[in-house]
């Protein structure tokens, strides 16, 4: 068996909850006993509603946050303590792309400088050619001298992706990476992510609340609820034959793909209702 | 009981409104429209952001306004509500609600109309609700202001309204502050506020965008049910085409400040006429009809109003663009009730 890029075994993350003077604080179980593995070069989608713990899971997988209990390993080796020299070397291979690119970029630095920064931090020689190549790869050729406020939301997200790619990581954790973008731009970014995966073999832990997006990009999907994973499986199977009732309720709540599909569904619902009566 | 509550509260004019939805067969509704916007232009200085927009919405009808961010959807709604703030101002056009011209009305008169005859629901309920006032009181406020009720009677009705929008334990929840309620609950409160005075028109600007899918499904269903009961006209702004499929009777697609296509929702989905509408349809992702193929993205982004290309604003991103696109295409009939502003749109087969 091959070693997974990232593996989480029985991982939990509890935060101290809010109590009051007569009530003991119950811990918030943001992540509660999760087992998942992200294989090399694959996309694992994590879906769930807000508060399901998917972002915390992403932070733990990226090594930015330590779990309260359980084991996280990167290519078979456990993450070193946060802040240590070894941890820094490990972190080089796992990058993160967050939802809001304008918050993820420094407003006072040019795009090129921000792409160079992680390379300099890891002691890698970063010539102008390397940076220009990264920019071209994400479709921002010639825009390196621009500042964040001069670019659109889609372009900014491309810059963030270029910065994440600069260290040629094995894994990129995408936390709602396309959720803030318009559909047309979202499609551009999803295509770019898929191209980069084909070219560099990077694996994605793709976290999103948007089931359509997750289905499109993911090989496998894990459905999260209340900090636990309620269902995992190949993307097509999870949607075609959902096993868990929560997954089924998520799918049932999806808006219709077209007015005709809506009428078909409403017809089925009223038919089954009248049967009950 | 639901209808009763609204019936008892109301001025008794419910009979004048059709109880069921009556989607008109043509873009110009046969019934007198609740709201009609004609030749609306909005902008700052010498830059026009919304240009020559005309819309009408009939009683009981839901019109969806669709387009990417920066296309002028929200500004069109704000202009309709008379909520434009400096430096953005109305440059031309008229907005009339039930035959009454709203442009040029002073703030005092507008304030009497807003909340009573037309109400707006925004995207982020947390930002729209007053964080230091109990939600019941916020719902009651509209009733005190517009219907001259005393606070006690208004609170009583506020609780009924909260119950009506599906808030369990409405009596105790009315005492809650917004931060004690979830996002979906807050949005229900916003809907209760909008419904309080039984307006003829509700404008919902991305009202379900920030919600989880299960909550969104509940809210959309709620809005549809309430609309069927009250015959309110609704303008629903969204960039999500599956929400459009759920809720719209008619659709208007906006691009860079102009309406580029209008039509009945089925026609828009079955045979979109404008390349932009087609592009939006193609890059949609739906969990139940996924393909492993590469997505058809629309290249580029919406131009800023100051840098809008001459002629058809979409030509810089359009796969069909040709020389004649440098002149502005006028909206023309495409299929029955469907209008498209594109040089290449012939009548549908």
B183: chain A residues, CB-CB within 8 Å: 50
Give the torsion sign (CA, B206, A187, B264, B20).
Answer: negative
Task: Give B106→chain A minimum CA distance, Å.
Answer: 36
What chain B holds in terms of domains, given with CATH numbers, is 41-128+199-329 (3.40.50.300)
Q: With beta carbons under 8 A apart, name residues in chain B contacting A187.
A: 283, 285, 295-298
The answer on pLDDT for B29 being more than 70 is no
| Partner-chain contact B285 A191, CB within 8 Å | no
At B187-221, the pLDDT tens digits run 999 999 998 999 999 999 988 887 888 888 988 99
Asked whether the beta carbons of residue A254 and residue B243 sit closer than 8 angstroms, the reply is: no
| Residue A107 exposed, middle or buried by CB count within 10 Å (0-12, 13-18, 19+) | exposed
Q: Which two tokens stand for residue B316?
A: 């810089």
Distance CA A44, CA A47 (A): 10
Spell B284-309 as b/e; 16+ CB within 10 A means b. Answer: bbbbeebeeeebebbeebbbebeebe
- B237 strand-pairing partners: B65, B205
For B267-312, what is each residue's pLDDT tens digit?
A: 999 999 999 999 999 988 888 776 667 888 888 888 889 899 999 9
Query: Could B213 and A209 be called an inter-chain contact, meaning their C-beta atoms sit closer than 8 Å?
Result: yes
Burial profile B215-251: b = 16 or more Cβ within 10 angstroms, e = fewer: bbbbbbebbeebbebbbbbbbbbbbbbbbbbbbbbbb
Under the banding of pLDDT at 50, 70 and 90, the label for residue A146 is very high
pLDDT tens digits, residue range B124-168?
Answer: 888 899 999 999 999 999 999 999 999 999 999 999 999 988 888
Helix then strand then coil, % of chain B, to nearest 5 = 35, 20, 40
**Separation CA A153–CA A102 (nearest Å):** 7
B13 backbone dihedrals φ, ψ, rounded to 5°: -100, 15
User: Are B79 and B341 in contact, with CB atoms under 8 Å apart?
Assistant: no
Residue with the bigger pLDDT between A60 and B86: it is A60
Beta-carbon contacts below 8 Å between A and B: 117
Q: Which residues of A touch B277 (CB under 8 A)?
A: none
Alpha carbon distance A186, B159 (integer Å): 41
pLDDT on residue A276: 54
Cβ pair A49:B294 closer than 8 A: no
Please tell me the distance in Å from A78's CA to the nearest CA on chain B: 34
Provide the pLDDT for residue B170. Answer: 92
Q: Can you give the pLDDT at residue B33?
A: 93
Asked whether the beta carbons of B11 and B17 are under 8 A apart, the reply is: no
Looking at the complex, does the CB of residue B329 fall below 8 Å from at least one CB of chain A? no
Q: Is A3 helix (H, G, I), strand (E, B) or coil?
A: coil
Per-residue model confidence (pLDDT) at position A271: 75
DSSP bridge partners of A46: A207, A222
User: Please, which pLDDT band fits residue B325 given cuts at 50, 70 and 90?
Assistant: very high
- Cα–Cα distance between B88 and B37 in angstroms, integer? 18
In chain A, where are the structural domains located?
Answer: 6-93+199-276
Helix (H/G/I), strand (E/B), else coil: B225: helix
Q: Say which DSSP state A258 is in.
A: S
* ipTM score above 0.90: no
Chain A residue with CA closest to B270: the answer is A258
CA pair distance A53, A227, nearest whole angstrom: 5
Closest residue by Cα to residue A140 from A110, A167, A170: A110
Min Cα separation A38/chain B (Å): 20
B12 versus A120: which is more confidently predicted? Answer: A120
**Domain A6-93+199-276 class, CATH top level:** alpha beta
pLDDT digits (tens, 9 = 90+) for A148-167: 999 888 899 999 999 999 99
Interchain CB contact of B266 with A (< 8 Å): yes
- pTM equals 0.85
Tokens 């659709």 -> residue: B251
pLDDT (0 to 100) of residue B292 = 64
| Secondary-structure percent of chain A, ordered helix, strand, coil, rounded to 5 | 40, 25, 35
Which of B287, B299, B302 is opposite residue A254, by nearest beta carbon? B287
B213: nearest CB among A184, A235, A250: A250
Q: Give A-chain residues touching B68 at CB under 8 angstroms.
A: 182-185
| Residue-wise pLDDT tens digits, A214-237 | 999 999 999 999 999 999 999 989
How many other C-beta atoms lie within 10 A of the C-beta of residue B131?
9
Nearest to A261 among B183, B212, B245 (CB): B245
Distance CA B250, CA B263 (A): 6
What does the pLDDT read at residue B284?
A: 86
**Is B214 close to A250, i.e. CB distance below 8 A?**
yes
Q: What tokens does B273 get? A: 């006429």
B245 in contact with A, Cβ within 8 Å: yes
What pLDDT does residue B9 have? Answer: 40
B16 touches chain A (CB under 8 A): no
Specify whether the CB–CB gap between B333 and B339 falls below 8 A: yes
User: In chain B, what residues touch A233 (CB-CB under 8 Å)?
Assistant: none
């Amino acid at each position: 068996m091959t070693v997974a890029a990232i593996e989480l075994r029985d991982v939990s993350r509890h935060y101290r909850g809010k109590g009051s003077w007569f009530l003991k604080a119950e811990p918030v179980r943001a992540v509660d006993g999760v087992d998942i593995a992200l294989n090399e070069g694959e996309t694992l989608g994590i879906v769930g509603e807000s508060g399901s713990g998917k972002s915390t899971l992403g932070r733990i997988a990226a090594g930015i946050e330590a779990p309260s209990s359980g084991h996280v390993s990167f290519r078979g080796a456990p993450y070193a303590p946060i802040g240590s020299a070894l941890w820094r070397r490990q972190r080089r291979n796992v990058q993160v792309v967050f939802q809001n690119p304008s918050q993820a970029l420094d407003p006072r630095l040019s795009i090129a400088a921000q792409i160079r920064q992680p390379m300099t931090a890891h002691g890698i020689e970063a010539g102008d050619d390397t940076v220009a190549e990264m920019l071209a790869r994400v479709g921002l050729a010639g825009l390196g001298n621009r500042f964040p406020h001069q670019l659109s939301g889609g372009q900014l997200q491309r810059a963030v992706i270029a910065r994440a790619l600069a260290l040629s990581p094995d894994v990129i954790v995408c936390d709602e990476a396309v959720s803030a973008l318009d559909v047309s731009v979202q499609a551009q970014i999803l295509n770019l992510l898929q191209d980069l995966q084909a070219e560099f073999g990077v694996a994605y832990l793709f976290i999103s609340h948007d089931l359509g997006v997750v289905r499109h990009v993911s090989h496998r999907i894990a459905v999260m609820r209340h900090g636990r994973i309620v269902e995992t499986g190949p993307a097509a199977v999870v949607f075609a034959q959902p096993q868990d009732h929560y997954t089924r309720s998520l799918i049932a709540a999806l808006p219709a793909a077209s007015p005709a599909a809506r009428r078909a569904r409403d017809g089925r619902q009223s038919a089954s209702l009248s049967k009950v009566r | 009981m639901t209808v009763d509550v609204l019936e008892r509260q109301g001025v008794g004019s419910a009979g004048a409104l059709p109880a069921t939805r009556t989607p008109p067969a043509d873009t110009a509704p046969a019934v007198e429209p609740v709201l009609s916007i004609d030749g609306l232009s909005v902008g700052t200085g010498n830059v026009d952001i919304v240009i020559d927009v005309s819309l009408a919405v009939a009683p009981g009808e839901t019109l969806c306004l669709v387009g990417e961010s920066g296309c002028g959807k929200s500004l069109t709604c704000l202009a309709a509500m008379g909520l434009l703030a400096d430096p953005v101002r109305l440059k031309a056009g008229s907005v009339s609600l039930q035959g009454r011209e709203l442009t040029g009305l002073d703030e005092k008169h507008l304030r009497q109309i807003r909340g009573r005859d037309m109400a707006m629901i925004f995207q982020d309920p947390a930002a729209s609700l007053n964080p230091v006032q109990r939600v019941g009181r916020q719902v009651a406020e509209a009733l005190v202001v517009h219907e001259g009720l005393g606070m006690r009677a208004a609170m009583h009705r506020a609780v009924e309204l909260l119950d009506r929008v599906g808030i369990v334990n409405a009596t105790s929840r009315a005492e809650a502050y917004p931060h004690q309620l979830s996002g979906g609950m807050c949005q229900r409160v916003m809907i209760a506020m909008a419904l309080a005075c039984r307006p003829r028109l509700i404008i919902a600007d991305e009202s379900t965008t920030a919600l989880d899918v299960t909550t969104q499904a509940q809210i959309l269903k709620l809005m549809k049910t309430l609309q069927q009961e009250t015959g309110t006209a609704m303008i629903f702004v969204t960039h999500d085409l599956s929400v459009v499929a759920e809720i719209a009777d008619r659709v208007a697609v906006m691009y860079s400040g102009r309406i580029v296509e209008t039509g009945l929702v089925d026609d828009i989905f079955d045979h979109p006429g404008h390349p932009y509408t087609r592009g939006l349809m193609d890059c949609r992702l739906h969990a139940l009809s996924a393909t492993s193929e590469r997505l058809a993205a629309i290249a580029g982004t919406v131009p800023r109003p100051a840098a809008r290309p001459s002629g058809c604003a979409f030509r810089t991103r359009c796969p069909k663009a040709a020389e004649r696109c440098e002149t502005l295409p006028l909206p023309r009939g495409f299929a029955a009730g469907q209008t498209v502003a594109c040089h290449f749109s012939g009548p549908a087969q």
